[in-house]
Structure 1
Amino acid sequence: MPGIGRSGRRNALLCTATAALLAATACGSGSASGSGSGPIKVGASLPLSGPVADASKPAYEGYKVWLDQLNKSGGLLDRDVELKVLDDGFDQNTVVTNYNRLISQERADLLLGTFSSKLNLPASAVAERSKMLYVEPSGGAEEIFSRGYDYLFFAQPSTSLDLPEQFVNWVKALPAGERPKTAAYPTQDDPNTDVTIAEFRKELSALGVKSVYSEKYAPDTVNFDSIASGIARAKPDLIVHGAVAINDGAGLVKALQKQQFSPEMMFQTNSPSVTGSYPEAVGTKNTEGIFTSAAWSPKADYPGNAAFVKAYTAAYGSAPNDDAANAYTAGQVLEAAVKGVGSLDQKKLADWLHSHTVQTIVGPLKWDERGVPDGDMLLAQWQNGKFEFVAPESQKTVDAAVNPKPGWS
C-alpha cells in the first residue's frame, strides 16, 4: 500500500473530523459547581458496532461495573450518577458528532473517553474545545498528547511509545544465540499501532534484528492472505504485529496457518489481550507462545482490584480483560478527581489530577502536564491456554516465557 495514499487518507479523515468539530456549537456543562438536583450525567462514545466492537464491548461493561459500584457507595457529590453511551461505529466523524451531542444536547456533566487512538484523537479535541475533563481508557498514540491540551488524561500506566519496553528487555536478556535475527512488521494503519511498531522496529534494530518485511493495511481489511504470503516468503524469526482488534489479530494468524508458516516468536498488540474472544478466534492451542502487552493484571494486589474482578465476573459470567479494566480505571480517575475537588468545576478537576496521584486497579497513576502517566506496561504471553504475565518480575505469574513458539495446530 503506497505511503502517500495512506497519508492522504488519514489527513482527509482528520480534516473532515476537524471540520465537523469546528462547525459544531459546543456548550459546557450547566452544573460546574456540582450543585443541583437529579443525577450527575457522564457521557461517553464507544464503537459498539463496526470492526472493533469485540474489544469495545468489554470496555462498556467495565464502565458499567464502575458505575454500579459508585452508585452503591453513594454516587458523587451526594447524587446518583448516570452513564450515557453513544455508538460511533469506529468512525471519526461520528465520534466528533457524538461528543458534541453529549456536551451540547445531552448536557453531560462529565466525560469519559472512547476506544483507540483513532477515535480519541478527534474526540479529545471536542472536549478540550469545550474545556471539559477528558479521561480516556485507551488511545496511547504520542500525537494525542503533543497538542498542549490541559483537560486530557490517559488512564493506563504508559503510552504507545513505551509499550515495546518489556518485550525488548526480554529479548535483550536472551543469550545471543537465542535472539531473533530477522523480523516482520505488519500493522493496521492507526495512530496507536503506527507509533508502537515504529518504536519496536527502532529498538529491535538497535539490537541487530534486521527488518525483512513491513506493511500497513487499512482498518477494514478482512483478507490477510497476501500479507501472510509476503511474510512467509521473508521467513522472519519474529513477527511484531500492530493489531487493533480480534478481526485483524486473528485474521493474520489464520492466514499464516494457510501459508504453513509459524515464526519462532510472535508479538501482537491489543488482540491477544481480548482473553475471551482471542482463543475462540484462533484456536486455543494456536495461542501458545504469543506475546502481547497489558496495562492490568487480574492478580495484582492493588486496592479494589479483587473486588473489580469479582463484580465483573458476577455481572457478565466471565473474568474481565484489559479493555474492561482500562475503562474501569478511567472511571476511577474521574471519580477521584470529583471527590478530591468536591465539585464539577472542569478546570479544578484537571488541575487536581495534574497535582495528585490516584490509586487505581492498574496501580498508582500520576500525570505530567500533557496528561501522560508515569508507569510501566506488563509483558503477557499465552501459555497452556491461559493468559500469563512474564514481566516485570513483580507481576510474573509464570517462571519463564515459552521460547520458541510452537508451530500451529
Structure 2
Amino acid sequence: MRSLSRPLAVRRGTQLACAGAALALAATGCSSTSTHSTSGPITIGMSLPLSGAIADISKDGYRGYQEWADELNAHGGLLGRKVKLVVLDDAFQQNTALADYNKLIAQNHVDLLLGTFSSFLNLPVAQVAERNKYVYIEPSGGADSIFARNFKYLFFAQPATTERLPDQFVAQIAALPASQRPKTAAFVTQDDPNTSPATALFKKKLAALGVKSVYNTTYAPDTSNFDAIANSIKQASPDLVVQGALADDGVSLVRAFQKVSFSPKMLFQTNSPSDPKFPSAIGTKNAEGIFTALAYSPEAPFPGNAKFVADYTKRFGEAPSEDAANSYTAGQVLQAGVTAAGKIDQTAIAQWLHAHTVQTIVGPLSWTASGKPTGSLLLAQWQSGKLQIVAPSSAATAKKAVLTKPGWSN
C-alpha cells in the first residue's frame, strides 16, 4: 500500500502540484477546493470495480448510485444544481483505486466523493479522502480496522459494522438447548479485511457456546476452484459451516459441496446469499435454509424504501440487491449532509453528519466520531425461494428459522 502520511513540507505552488501526477496528491496534501465551480452541475466522483472479481456486486451498486442521482435530478438536483457522476473503473485493484481517487480530486476536481466497494478497497481509499479533507461515504466495507483510524470525514452507509455481524446468528444458537446446538464447525473465508475478521468473530463467539472448530482456512480473493476446500471440509464433517464470502465465492463453495456430496446441517455465508440471483446460481431448492446477515431488506418499512424498490425494479427489470440499496443509501447520506450545510463545505458536511441522524431506506443512521454506525444487522435465511428476515423478531418476515438445512437437490 502506498504511504499517504508523509507531512506537507512546502505549500507554495499548490495548484501547479495538484495538476501533476495524481498519486502525488495524498502525499502533498493538495486541496482542490479552490478550483470548484459554483455553477453548472455538482460533480460526484467514485471509482468502482466495474471489472474484476466483484464486478457483479459493483454493477448493482452502480445502479443504486444511478437511481439516486437520477431521482435527485428529477427533483431539482442538489443545492439547486444538477448532479453528475464521474465514474472510473478500479478493476478491484487497490493501486488502481488509489490512483483513481487521487485523480478525481487532483485532476477532475470533483466537488464530492462517494465510496467504492469492499473493505479491501475502502481501507486505503478512505485515507486519500481523509488526507484531502473530503467527506467519504462508503456503501460497503464494514471492517472495524477502517474505523480504528479515527477518520473524521468517513461515514459507513449501513446500520452496523463487522463486529455486530455474528450477533443475531449466534443468538439463535445460544437459544437452543445444549443438546440441539451444532457440536462442530468449519470456518472458511476470503482474505478480505471485512470477511476475515467477521469469520474470526464467529469462531470466537461459537467457541464460547461449546462449538468446536474442526477446520479453518483462508483463501485468496481470486480463488475460483473450491474442490480441495470442499473435500477437506467433508473429511472434517462439521455440523456447521461459516463462510466469509464476498460474491461469487459463496456460489462456488456451494457448487463444490454439491460436487463432493457434502451438505452441512447448517450453513452461514456473508454477502453472497443477499444477491437475488443467488438461488438460481446454485439451484433454487439448494438455497433453502442458508443463513446470511443483511443491512437491507426490500420489505423493510422505512420511509422511501417501497418507492425505491418500485422505481428500481421498473428501471432495471429486477428488485434491488443489498448492494444497490447500500449505494442509494450512501447517496441519501451525502444528500442530507450537503443540503444541511447549504454549500459544498466538506468540514461543515462532516460536522453535521456527526451530530445528526439521517433517515434512509435502511433505517435511521447515526455515527460515532470515527464514522462507525450505531445500529445492528438483520439475520436472514432463504425459505421457499424467498430471503426472509428471521431475527430480530421486531423485523421478522418469517415465523421461525429453519435450523436444519435440507440436503442438496439434484
Q: TM-score, normalised by structure 2?
A: 0.93
Residue aligning to 1:254: 255
Is residue 265 of structure 1 aligned with residue 266 of structure 2? yes
Residue aligning to 2:33: 30
Could you report, residue by residue, the CA deviation over 1:126-180 in whole angstroms, capped at 9, with x for unpaired residues? 1111110000000000111111211000000000111001101111112222211
Contact 1:116 1:139 in 2 (8 A): yes
- Equivalent in 192, 211, 215 of residue 190 of structure 1: 192
C-alpha distance in 1, partners of 2:305/2:292? Answer: 21
Counterpart code for 1:342:
G
Residue aligning to 1:342: 342
Contact 2:154 2:371 in 1 (8 A): yes
Is residue 388 of structure 1 aligned with residue 391 of structure 2? no
C-alpha distance in 2, partners of 1:365/1:388? Answer: 23
Q: Decide whether aligned partners of structure 1 residues 81 and 22 sit closer, same or farther in structure 2, where only a CA change above 3 A counts.
A: closer
Counterpart code for 1:249:
G
* 1:16 to partner: Cα distance: 7.6
C-alpha distance in 1, partners of 2:3/2:242? Answer: 31
Is residue 223 of structure 1 aligned with residue 236 of structure 2? no
Counterpart code for 2:76:
G
Residue aligning to 1:329: 329
Residue aligning to 2:216: 214
Could you report, residue by residue, the CA deviation over 1:189-211 in whole angstroms, capped at 9, with x for unpaired residues? 00001110111111010011000
| Paired positions, count | 393
Counterpart code for 2:359:
Q
Contact 2:140 2:157 in 1 (8 A): yes
Contact 2:22 2:106 in 1 (8 A): no
Is residue 85 of structure 1 aligned with residue 87 of structure 2? yes
Residue aligning to 2:17: none
* 1:72 to partner: Cα distance: 1.1
Contact 2:313 2:320 in 1 (8 A): yes
Q: Aligned to 1:191, what secondary structure does the other structure show?
A: coil
Counterpart code for 1:144:
I
C-alpha distance in 1, partners of 2:24/2:112? Answer: 22
C-alpha distance in 2, partners of 1:109/1:323? Answer: 24
Residue aligning to 2:58: 56
- Equivalent in 139, 154, 160 of residue 137 of structure 1: 139
Is residue 408 of structure 1 aligned with residue 403 of structure 2? no
Contact 1:31 1:109 in 2 (8 A): no
Counterpart code for 2:292:
T
Alignment of 1:305-324 (within 5 A): 305-324=305-324
Q: Aligned to 1:379, what secondary structure does the other structure show?
A: strand
C-alpha distance in 1, partners of 2:175/2:88? Answer: 46
Q: Aligned to 1:338, what secondary structure does the other structure show?
A: helix
C-alpha distance in 2, partners of 1:148/1:21? Answer: 25
Q: Decide whether aligned partners of structure 1 residues 368 and 17 sit closer, same or farther in structure 2, where only a CA change above 3 A counts.
A: closer
Gap runs ≥5 in structure 1: 1-13
- How many percent of aligned residue pairs carry the same amino acid? 60
Q: Aligned to 1:315, what secondary structure does the other structure show?
A: helix
Residue aligning to 1:100: 102
* 1:29 to partner: Cα distance: 3.7
Counterpart code for 1:360:
T
Counterpart code for 2:347:
K
Cα RMSD of the aligned pairs, angstroms, is 1.7
Q: Aligned to 1:296, what secondary structure does the other structure show?
A: coil
* 1:73 to partner: Cα distance: 1.3
Could you report, residue by residue, the CA deviation over 1:22-74 in whole angstroms, capped at 9, with x for unpaired residues? 64466434369x87110000011111101111111110000011101111111
Could you report, residue by residue, the CA deviation over 1:234-274 in whole angstroms, capped at 9, with x for unpaired residues? 0000000000112x111111111111110000000000101
Residue aligning to 1:376: 376
Could you report, residue by residue, the CA deviation over 1:323-366 in whole angstroms, capped at 9, with x for unpaired residues? 01111000000000001110111011111111010001111111
* 1:401 to partner: Cα distance: 1.0
C-alpha distance in 2, partners of 1:220/1:16? Answer: 25
C-alpha distance in 2, partners of 1:249/1:160? Answer: 18
C-alpha distance in 1, partners of 2:182/2:2? Answer: 40
* 1:21 to partner: Cα distance: 8.3
Alignment of 1:66-85 (within 5 A): 66-85=68-87
* 1:18 to partner: Cα distance: 8.3
Contact 1:58 1:324 in 2 (8 A): yes
Q: Aligned to 2:63, what secondary structure does the other structure show?
A: helix
* 1:91 to partner: Cα distance: 0.3
Q: Aligned to 2:367, what secondary structure does the other structure show?
A: coil
Contact 1:18 1:122 in 2 (8 A): no
Q: Decide whether aligned partners of structure 1 residues 269 and 18 sit closer, same or farther in structure 2, where only a CA change above 3 A counts.
A: farther
- Equivalent in 113, 116, 135 of residue 115 of structure 2: 113
